[in-house]
Amino acid sequence: MTEGHWHVTFCIYRKKGDQPPFYQDFPLEVDPDEYVLDGIERIWAFHDRSLTFRHACHHSTCGACGMLVNGVEKLTCITPIRAVTKNGGTIRVEPLRNFPVLSDLVVDMAEFYLRMEQAHALQVVPVAQSTLPYEPPPFPDDGLPHQRLNDCIECGMCVSACPIALTASSYQGPAALAATQQTYSLTGEKSLLSLVDCADGVWRCHSGFECTAVCPSNVDPAWRIMELRRQVIRHRIQRIFHQDR
Amino acid sequence: MTQTKAHVIIIGAGFTGCALAYDLARRGLAVTVVDRGEIASGTSGRTHGLLHSGARYCVNDQESAIECIHENIILRKIAHQCIEYNGGFFVALNEQDLAYQARFEIGAQQCGIEIDAIHPQKARQLEPNLNPAVLAVYHVPDGVFDPLRLALAFAASARFFGAEFLPYHEMENFLTNGQGTVTGIKLWNRLTNAHSELKADLVVNATGAWAGMILKKIGASVVVTPTPGIMVAYNRRLINRVINRLNEPGDGDILIPQRRMVVIGTTSYEAEEVDYIPVEKEQAIQMDRDAISLVPGVATCNRRGVYMSARPLIGKGEAGRSLARTFKCFDHRETDGIEGLVTITGGKATTCRLMAEKTADLVCQKLGLTATCETACEPLRSYREYYRPSGVNR
Ligand SMILES: Cc1cc2nc3c(=O)[nH]c(=O)nc-3n(C[C@H](O)[C@H](O)[C@H](O)COP(=O)(O)OP(=O)(O)OC[C@H]3O[C@@H](n4cnc5c(N)ncnc54)[C@H](O)[C@@H]3O)c2cc1C
Ligand code: SF4
Ligand code: FES
């Protein structure tokens, strides 16, 4: 064994076509500072070319590599092996929950992305308004219209962790609702509020806060959903007020 | 398949393959894109993310520099949806950097890249985390993109014009007619483990750093040298503009902001096998030092990710950095006497649309079609539409 290296077993969820799923063990020598995704890619490169998994950026900007690691949603490209097991330990890797599994660790993101599109989720936002309202601004405002890529990387991990999404597949889900809140705050698009003011929208959330716990990217969907409720109610009251006049 | 249009298979769904699919589909061809992994799971996903202004190459590789500034302006228009466009700085930190200044100014002017000298004090007001020891600063039109979404936006636009995408389908070998003409490919569907064949009027090899591997299968001679480099991401956004070292291209001389992070890159060395590129710890430590010299605040950050990927550079034998960053399109009838096969490789993310245009021109010429490129003006479809279901495509 190379000095400082660990022996760990990757126990990986496998599924192909209509065949029943099973778990397969891959013992690996790893550097504990490597990321879980590095181990998975090595299994593909050197042990089993049929293993499928989603990945692209390897540094938490694309959102493709969310998986269940030892039962918890993790962005595998930035999760060091050291953080999820010990020397001689096991790393159990499974696809995200609440998404259809296409093969092995690959889930179908179609419905999720569609909902993000319907929520008019922004991918590029003004730097000055990019953080959560309760966070200190990251920069002194130099008056220039700087923009940046948004916090939500559309990894789907909040949906995977959400107990409501588990029982109600029609639920719009934490990512889309959080996106609605942010887009509405920035654009004031009223039609977005009617889209979420329904049983499958803001009112379905039971404030479990699991989404916020697993979000790798500071979105705080749970807070945003609560804020969105306030925005919806404010809008309702305004409407009544208008009608009364 | 009942096809009346000419059918082209593209192997590889990185920036090059996705942009080419869009161009060809827009010109009215039937297109199928196969990739053994997810969209952008090769080099493209793991790129540094700099939308080059071209200034980096304006002294030593002016052809690339001119391509970059043209395409930078086009991508800012058509792919605005996944680009942070806040400009960039080139900064001098020592006498050698200052000695490069004159050549830099002339080169930028020759390549048509707008640069502005900024007083160091003013630059530090604009970017408070910049090294206070900067001696000279230029503003350039740099940007930063999200790699997966840039590829998806091209792929979504390609699908909008009818292209079909088959991710997780590995090209195993070529189909030929026995007389030196490629007639299609053999495929392994890694989602189901099924094997199949797909016929086409023409096959384009857009596998980047793997282009040489693919060509070996048919004994073609073009040499592509995979040239890996490292990137390190840190957990705080310390700058709004890209910070480049004002000197000839070297290691660890570009720090980009992206979302809440900054990312430093990169290195350059030659490799044979790049299916898995181990992270070189020494290089990562070097990146920490380089990042700190541009923006000292990086010392207070934590690393968020460390990753490697391989450039597809054309040619062999010289030091990686001296191989030109431009691209090349090969008609294998010319190079190897093989009909029905084209390879496009080299280049940069920033120039992928142009690479696609030139390749599509060659494809159309070979198929006797007259359609022209229309990808430079209209914004790309929303990247999320790549996932839009449609009878044939899913
Ligand atoms: C370290 C580094 C930093 C860079 N930084 C920048 C930057 O900041 N800005 C910039 O503009 N450019 C940058 N580049 C360059 C840019 O990333 C590449 O030029 C570009 O990504 C290449 O895209 P591609 O589509 O040609 O190749 P790839 O993205 O590698 O696509 C090739 C595809 O082929 C697939 N494939 C391989 N074999 C098979 C097979 N048998 N069957 C099916 N599919 C197969 C692979 O899975 C892969 O997805 C950088 C490159 C590197 C290495
Ligand atoms: S809100 Fe967070 S967890 Fe949910 S998709 Fe966005 S980044 Fe991922
Ligand atoms: S691979 Fe992009 S977020 Fe992990």
Interchain CB contact of B103 with A (< 8 Å): no
How many other C-beta atoms are found inside a 10 Å radius of the C-beta of residue A145?
A: 9
Interchain CB contact of A237 with B (< 8 Å): no
Copy the structure tokens of residue B227: 């040239």
pLDDT of B270-307, one tens digit each? 998 899 999 999 999 999 999 999 999 999 999 999 99
Ligand closest to A96 (CA) is 2
Is the C-beta atom of A154 inside 6 A of ligand 2? yes
pLDDT of A123-137, one tens digit each? 999 998 899 989 987
**Domain assignment of residue B65, yes or no:** no
Contact A77, A35 (CB under 8 A): yes
Q: How far is A32 from chain B (nearest CA, A)?
A: 13
* Residues B270, B276, B281: CA angle, nearest 5 degrees: 70
Q: Cα(A101)–Cα(A21) distance, rounded to whole angstroms?
A: 10
Pocket of ligand 3 (CB under 6 A): A 55-58, 60-65, 75, 77
Q: Report which of residues B222 and B151 the model is more confident about.
A: B151
- Give the A window 49-68 contacts with B, CB below 8 Å: 49-50, 52, 54-64
What pLDDT was estimated at residue B392? Answer: 40
Interchain CB contact of A113 with B (< 8 Å): yes
- Domain harbouring B135, CATH code: 3.30.9.10
Which residue in A61, A102, A142, A183 has the most chain B C-beta atoms within 10 A of its own C-beta, making it the best mutation to test that interface? A61
Cα B51 to its chain centre, rounded Å, is 10
Residues B176 and B250 in one domain: no
Q: Ligand 3 center to residue B48 CA distance, Å?
A: 13
Residues B305 and B341 in one domain: no
Q: How far is A240 from chain B (nearest CA, A)?
A: 36
Flag whether pLDDT at A245 surpasses 50. no
Q: At a CB cut-off of 8 Å and minimum separation 6, what does A242 contact?
A: none
pLDDT of B39-57, one tens digit each? 999 999 999 999 999 999 9
Is the C-beta atom of B57 inside 6 A of ligand 1? no
Q: Cα(B372)–Cα(A20) distance, rounded to whole angstroms?
A: 49
> Which domains, and CATH codes, for chain A?
6-107 (3.10.20.30), 110-121+146-240 (1.10.1060.10)
How many domains are there within chain B?
Answer: 2
Flag whether pLDDT at B393 surpasses 50. no
pLDDT of A130-158, one tens digit each? 999 899 877 767 778 899 999 999 999 99
Q: Ligand 2 center to residue A99 CA distance, Å?
A: 14
What pLDDT was estimated at residue B316? Answer: 62
Q: How far is A207 from chain B (nearest CA, A)?
A: 26
- Domain harbouring B179, CATH code: 3.50.50.60
Residues B292 and B215 in one domain: no
Atom of ligand 3 nearest to the CA of A77: 4
Cross-chain CB nearest to A59 (options B149, B236, B263): B263
Residues B105 and B152 in one domain: no
Last residue of a domain, one of B258, B280, B314: B314
What pLDDT was estimated at residue A115? Answer: 97
Interchain CB contact of B85 with A (< 8 Å): yes
Protein residue with least CA distance to atom 27, ligand 1: B208
Residues B236 and B302 in one domain: yes
Residues B292 and B171 in one domain: no
Residues B207 and B308 in one domain: no
Residues B249 and B195 in one domain: no
- Give the B window 283-322 contacts with A, CB below 8 Å: 304-307, 309
Q: Mean of the pLDDT values across residues A200-219?
A: 96
* Record: contact B307-A109, CB cut-off 8 A: no
Which residue in B146, B236, B273 has the most chain A C-beta atoms within 10 A of its own C-beta, making it the best mutation to test that interface? B146
Interchain CB contact of B79 with A (< 8 Å): no
pLDDT of B128-151, one tens digit each? 999 999 999 999 999 999 999 999
What pLDDT was estimated at residue B325? Answer: 62
What pLDDT was estimated at residue B286? Answer: 98
Copy the structure tokens of residue B174: 């070529």
Contact B175, B185 (CB under 8 A): yes
Is the C-beta atom of B11 inside 6 A of ligand 1? yes
- Give the B window 104-123 contacts with A, CB below 8 Å: none
What pLDDT was estimated at residue B221? Answer: 83
Flag whether pLDDT at B324 surpasses 80. no
Residues B229 and B269 in one domain: yes
Cross-chain CB nearest to B257 (options A57, A148, A150): A148
Last residue of a domain, one of B258, B290, B314: B314
Residues B163 and B217 in one domain: yes
Flag whether pLDDT at B382 surpasses 90. yes
pLDDT band at A244 (very low <50, low <70, confident <90, very high): very low
Q: At a CB cut-off of 8 Å and minimum separation 6, what does B349 contact?
A: B15, B44, B47, B49, B51, B145, B147, B150
**Domain assignment of residue B103, yes or no:** yes
What pLDDT was estimated at residue A2? Answer: 75
**Domain assignment of residue B61, yes or no:** no
**Domain assignment of residue B50, yes or no:** no
What pLDDT was estimated at residue A144? Answer: 84
Residues B200 and B291 in one domain: no
Q: What is the mean pLDDT of chain B?
A: 94
Last residue of a domain, one of B261, B293, B314: B314
pLDDT of B7-26, one tens digit each? 999 999 999 999 999 999 99
Q: Mean of the pLDDT values across residues B224-242?
A: 96
Residues B244 and B380 in one domain: no
Q: Mean of the pLDDT values across residues A176-187?
A: 97
3-state secondary structure of A16: coil
pTM above 0.95, yes or no: yes
3-state secondary structure of B164: strand
**Domain assignment of residue B55, yes or no:** no
pLDDT band at A85 (very low <50, low <70, confident <90, very high): very high
Q: How far is B374 from chain A (nearest CA, A)?
A: 25
How many other C-beta atoms are found inside a 10 Å radius of the C-beta of residue B248?
A: 16
pLDDT band at B319 (very low <50, low <70, confident <90, very high): very low
**Domain assignment of residue B13, yes or no:** yes
Is the C-beta atom of B52 inside 6 A of ligand 1? yes
Q: Mean of the pLDDT values across residues B90-97?
A: 98
Protein residue with least CA distance to atom 31, ligand 1: B14
Q: Cα(B277)–Cα(B263) distance, rounded to whole angstroms?
A: 19
B66 phi and psi, to 5 degrees?
Answer: -70, -40
Task: Find the DSSP H helices in chain B.
Answer: 15-26, 62-78, 95-111, 120-126, 147-160, 211-216, 281-294, 332-336, 352-367
**Domain assignment of residue B320, yes or no:** no
What pLDDT was estimated at residue A26? Answer: 98
Contact B367, B87 (CB under 8 A): no
Q: Which domain holds residue B261?
A: 86-144+225-314
Flag whether pLDDT at B1 surpasses 50. no
**Domain assignment of residue B276, yes or no:** yes
